[in-house]
Amino acid sequence: MVGVGIAGFVTALAIALALTPLVKSFAIKIGAMDVPDHRKVHTRIMPRMGGLAIYAAFTVTILCFMPWLPDSFLSDHDESLIRALLVGGTMIVLLGALDDRFQLNAKLKFLVQIAAACIVVFGFDIQINLVNIPFGSAMQPMGDWLGIPLTIIWIVGVTNAINLIDGLDGLAAGVSGIAIATILVMSALMGQSSVILLAAVLLGGVMGFLHYNFHPAKIFMGDSGSLFLGFSLAMLSMLGFKQITVVSFVTPILIIGVPLSDTFFAIVRRWVQKKPIFAPDKGHLHHRLQQLGFSHRKTVLIIYGIAAFFGACAVIQSVASSSGMGNWVTFIVICVLLFLLQIGAEVIGIVDKTKRPVIDFINRLLLRQQANTRSK
């Protein structure tokens, strides 16, 4: 099982390393170029559509490996998962590639994403069908009336979350790679052969592309890459760990905590500022870190560190769950992370640069304690 994963990783890595320069030439030839504007950080016209290299590395490797896998390696459900990922992923990457070239309407992109999610659910019968009652003893079945819309919302939401953080060289690829590596570790601990193979191959494709995408980037992944990675992460995080006996979605939320939290704060920020929810701005995590004086490379590395911290929390929470302490550990992890997220958001001003309610409250408590100490 581990050997297949390593072979898949190396194969996808080699294909991505070989294909990315060819994709770059193709993007330049057809005019799929990213032109700087007031919202973007880069100052040079750059080729995009690099996601085609990641997609090709992933798809070619999986299709080459599947015929040689023993029957015991993949169950019928595993094969359905892989087919759903390939079909839905193909729709998503084609959508992204067309957007990289022609700048498609946002509503059209959203509708195609919903269509891809619906194909996964209705075409391959892949959906969330179990839920855990907090501090309960077992997973409970979830009816289609709730499971189907929840699955579609999850796929579309995560797909767009990765797209929103694609603002600096190597940022979306690196954060996605950390999330995929987290899934790989957890699937290895749980002995899920199909998820190990998919995660290892996808990680290889991402790492091969990142060689050309890390600062200073030679090519951007574009929507073809960010949407495909988001879709793949949504599928793997949902399907790989739905059976863990913890509050539903805690583990996958931790795995992709950076893009999801950045998306959440973006929505809150625009609501507070009375701007349209989908209006682009320069208030995302990477923008604020750069505005605080961090260089391009340091900003990316800081966010890598945050993503790795989320991934480590996911692994700890998963291990604790398997030992019977999952509910309490989950509760503690959620409380600590929510506190740290709020403090971090206030420090960097990701929602509002002037309002810091929690920090101000803590400062008032400290001043009151100092005053009481002096009076004694």
246, two tokens: 């913890």
Task: Report pLDDT for 246.
Answer: 34
Coil, strand or helix: which one is 3? helix
Pull the structure tokens for residue 141: 């079945």
Contact 74, 193 (CB under 8 A): yes
- Taking only the tens place, the pLDDT of each residue in 138-178 is 455 556 677 788 889 989 988 988 887 887 889 999 999 99
Q: Is 213 annotated as a binding residue?
A: no
What does the mean pLDDT of the chain come to? 83
Q: pLDDT by residue (tens digit) across 211-251?
A: 999 988 999 999 999 999 999 998 887 765 544 333 345 66
User: Is the distance from CB of 271 to CB of 277 less than 8 angstroms?
Assistant: yes
Look at residue 260 and tell me whether its pLDDT is greater than 70. Answer: yes
What is the reported pTM?
0.86
Pick the closest to residue 215 from 181, 170, 282, 179 (CA basis): 170
DSSP E strands in the chain: the ranges are: 33-34, 46-47, 130-132, 139-141
Q: Please indicate if the annotation marks 163 as binding a ligand.
A: yes
Q: How far apart are CA 187 and CA 319, in angstroms?
A: 11
Residue-range domain boundaries for the chain: 2-265
> Mean of the pLDDT values across residues 345-360?
82
Per-residue pLDDT tens for 322-343? 666 656 777 777 788 888 888 8
Q: What is the pLDDT of residues 197-210, one digit of tens each?
A: 999 999 999 999 99
Asked whether the predicted pLDDT for residue 12 surpasses 60, the reply is yes
How sure is the predictor about 22, in pLDDT bands with cuts at 50, 70 and 90?
very high
